[in-house]
Chain A
Amino acid sequence: MKKELIKGNEAVIKGAILSGCTHFFGYPITPASEIAQAAAHYLPLTGRTFIQAESEIAAINMVYGAASAGVRTMTASSGPGLSLKQEGISYLAGAELPAVIVDVMRAGPGLGNIFPEQSDYNQMVKGGGHGDYKNVVLAPNCAQEMCDMTMQAFELADQYRVTVVVLTDGNIGQTMEPVEFPEEVKKAPFKEWSVQGDAKTRKNLITSIYMSTDALSKLNIRLQKKYAEIEAKEQMWEDFLIDGAEMVVVAYGIMSRISQNAIEELRAKGLKVGMMRPKTLFPFPKKRLQELAKTAKTFFVTEMCAGQMIDDVKLAIEHRRPVEFYGCYGGRTPAVEELKEAIELAYKKMVR
C-alpha cells in the first residue's frame, strides 16, 4: 500500500483489522483514546464490532468472552485502566485464551498524569495479576511498528494461546509517521477448542478453575513449558551502532529513539557506545545480552521510570558487568542532551 502519515494509535486499529481482528472492546483513557476512537470508526464500516464498555473490567471480560468464541479480539488502555484489567488478564492466562492488549503508558502512580512514562513495565511484563503467568510483551518504537507488532501480536496470541501486550508510551502512540500497511487481510484460524454455539464445539469448556491440586499443577506445568518455549523461540531485538561498543545502552520505546540521537552524537565524538533495543520484553532478549556481556564493559539502561527493565538486564547478564541507569519520571520526556550527558558521565567512569 501507499504510505500513510498516521498516528501510532490509529495504525494499531488498521493493522488489527488487516490481521482479522473483528471485535474491539474498550474504555476511553488518555493517551490511548485514539485507539478506541479509530476502532469505533473503522470496525463497524465492515460489520465488525466495537463496544465502549461500562468499565475497563467489563472490556477485558468482553475480550475474554469473544476470545472464548474463537474470534480475534482486542482492547487498549493506559496505566490505570490496565490496573483494572489485571484480574481479567489472569483469567485469560488461566483459560489459555488468545487476546491482544495495547498499553499506551502514561505517568503514575495513581491518577498520575496523562504524559508518557514507562512505568507499566512490571505490571505487564511480570504478570501483574494473580498466579504464575506471563504475557508476551512487544515494544514498538514507531508508528510502523505499532501496526506491525499489533499484527504480529494476533499471530503469537493464536499460536501460543496467550495474551500478547503491545507496550508503548504516549509519545509513540501520539506521533504521526509514515506507515506502509500490508496488501493482505488475514483471517482468524479455526480454533478447535473454542465455544462457538454449534455442534462441533459443543463439547468444549473454557475455564480456569481446577479444584484438584493435580489438575491445577498440570495446567501450571503446561503454562511454564509454553513460556519456556516462547523464551527459546521468540526473543526479538534490534542492534544500533553496536560494533565495537564498550558501553551498551539498553532502551525500548521512546527511550530508544532518544538514545539513538544521543549515541549518534557520542559516536561522532569517538565514544564507543551502541544500543541493544529489546523488541520483546517478554521474552526478554537475554541471549543477545549474554553475548554482548562478553565484549562490552558496561551496560547503561535508560527508562522513563524509576527503573523496572533494569532488573531484567541485570538478571540476563547475571551481574557480570556494571549496569548504569538513567531514569526520568513524572511524565517528562528527557531531552537528547540530558541523556547524552548521563551516558557520557557513565562512560568516563567506565574508562577511568
Chain B
Amino acid sequence: MEKMETVVKGKPEALCATFDRKEGSDKQTTHYCPGCGHGRVHKLIAEALSDMGLGDKTVFISPVGCSVFAYYYMNTGNVQAPHGRAPAVATGVSRANPNSIVISYQGDGDLAAIGTAEILHAANRGEHLSVFFINNAIYGMTGGQMAPTTLLGQKTQTTPRGRSAMNEGHPIRMAEIIATLEAPIYVERTSCTDTKGIMKTRKAIRKAIKLQSEKKGFTFVEILTACPTGWKKTPSDSIKWIQNELEPYFKPGVYKDVSDKAEPLHRPEMIMDSEEIFKSLGLKKGKTPSSSAAAVEEKRIKIAGFGGQGALTAGVMMATAGMNEGLNVSWIPSYGPEMRGGTANCSVIVSSKRIGNPLVRNPNILIAMNGPSLDAFENDVVQGGTIVVNSSLIERKLSRSDVKAVYVPLTDIAAKVGLKAAANSVALGVFLGLENIFSREGIYEVLKTSLKKKDALEINIKAVNAGFEFAKTL
C-alpha cells in the first residue's frame, strides 16, 4: 500500500503510481482500449484533486461499465456501486461524512438508462456531489450495445440496422434535463477531443470539484468521449466522429451556472450527548412497576365507533393506564383502507399474565359507540361478556340475552359536560365503573400527559367521572 502513495513523475498524487489492484502482471498501463476517453478523464480528475490537495478527502464512486475498475487507478477512498446506483451510493457516503469530496463517475448506460431515477433525484436534492458523466453513445463493457445516447441510425450490437426513433426512441440529452432542475448549481457539457476540448474539460472538472469543496452543492459535467472499440473505428476516426456527429446533437456548453450566487450549505451537527438524545426521544428515566398488586384476569376488550369518536384513543388510554399499574397490556387498531371508510376499532388486552394474540376476536367487553359497530361485533362477544351500547346513537336493543347489556347515552353525557367529542372519555369512565381493574387517578394521569390544553383536560376528567358515576347507578 505504501507503494501506491509514492508520486511518480507525470502522474498526479491522486492517481496510483502503480496499479496494484489491477489483475495480472501489468501494473503500469490501464485496462482501457487505445483511444478510450476514460483514462484521460481519470487523469484530469486526479490532477484537479492533487492540485487542490483533496486526495485524502475524496471518495470516488465507480459505476458499472468499463470504468467499474476506476479504483485500480484513483488513489482515493473507493466505493464500487451497483449498476446505475452510483448517485444513491454517493448520497449515502456524502451524508455519512459531509466533509468528504464525493465523486460519482458514470457512463451513459449507468446514468441515463438504468440509473435515471437515481441521478435525477440526487441532482434534485442538491446532494454535495460532483457527477462526471462519460457519454460515448455506446455500451462498451458488454460489447457494443445501444446506449440511451446512441445516435439515430447508429449501428450497435442491439441496433444492427441502426437506432430507429420508432423502436428505440431518441438519444437522451442529460445535461439539458439536469439543468431544468432547481438544485444543481453548475451543469456543463464538454467534448474531450482536441486540445481545446480537453482544456475545457479540465476547467469544468476543476470548477465542479472546487464548488463541492466549498460545499456549494450539486455539479454535473457531461463529457463526450470516444469508444473506438465499441464504434469499430480507429482512434483518429473516432475523434472526427465525435466532432461531426455527436457534438451537433449533444452540443457542448454551459447549461446552467448559478455557482456565483450559491451559498455554502452546511449539514447539521450531530448531537452526541446522551441526555439530549433521551430528551429528543421523549424517554423518561425511572421504573414502571412490572407487576400489579392485584391479579387481573385477562380482559379482552374491543372498542369500536366511527372515525372521530375517539375509539382508538380510548383504547390507548386504557392500555396506558394498565401499563402504569404494572399490568401487561396490548393495543392494536384495525389498520388499512377500512380506517378511512368511517368505522374504526381497536383491540385492547389487559392481563396479569403474558399476553398471547393481541388481536381480540371474541371480546369479554365490547364498547359499541355507534350502530354499525354493534352490528359488526355483537355476536363475537363471549357468553357472559359485557356490551356497552352508546344509546345516544343506537336505538335498538341487543339481540342476545347471554351477555350483560349496558345502555349508556355516551354522547349525550359528553354533551352535557360540555364536549360531544368526549364520548370516548365517558366510555372510559363506564369501563372503570364496571371493571375494577385500575384506578380513576390512573386515567387522570394518562389524560394529563396526552391532553396539553387545560380546559380539554378538565372536560375529559369530568366526562370520565360522569361515565363512572353512571356505571355505579346500574
Contacts and interface: CB of A to CB of B under 8 A. Distances in A.
A63 B267 CA distance: 18
B81 A64 contact: yes
Contacts of B268: 44, 47
A215 B21 CA distance: 12
Given A23-B92, A51-B91, A5 B329 contact: yes
A46 B273 CA distance: 9
Interface string A155-193: 000000000000000110011111011011101000000
Majority secondary structure, A binding face: mixed
A62 B89 CA distance: 5
A46 B270 contact: yes
B287 to A, nearest CB: 7
Contacts of B85: 57-58, 61, 64, 88
B100 A197 contact: yes
Contact of A174 (B71, B90, B280, B335): B335
A215 B23 CA distance: 10
Interface string B51-75: 0000111110110000011010001
B360 to A, nearest CB: 10
B333 interface: yes
A4 interface: yes
Contacts of B335: 30-31, 114, 170, 174
Contacts of B329: 5, 177-178
B260 interface: no
Interface string B286-297: 111000000000
Nearest to A13: B281
B271 A176 contact: no
Contacts of A48: 270
B90 A65 contact: yes
A42 interface: yes
Contact of B92 (A62, A183, A184): A62
Contacts of B328: 178
A268 interface: no
Interface string A13-53: 01001100011010000110000000000101111110101
B208 to A, nearest CB: 17
A195 B59 contact: yes
Given A185-B277, A202-B76, A258-B356, A88 B285 contact: no
Question: 4 closest A-B pairs (Cβ-Cβ)?
Answer: A65-B92, A197-B100, A69-B96, A61-B88
Given A2-B286, A257-B358, 6 more contacts: A30-B336, A174-B332, A195-B78, A197-B97, A257-B355, A257-B356
26 contacts: A1-B278, A1-B286, A4-B282, A18-B281, A23-B95, A23-B96, A31-B335, A46-B276, A48-B270, A49-B267, A57-B85, A57-B117, A61-B82, A61-B89, A65-B61, A69-B96, A114-B335, A114-B336, A175-B332, A176-B332, A178-B288, A195-B78, A196-B77, A205-B80, A254-B357, A257-B357
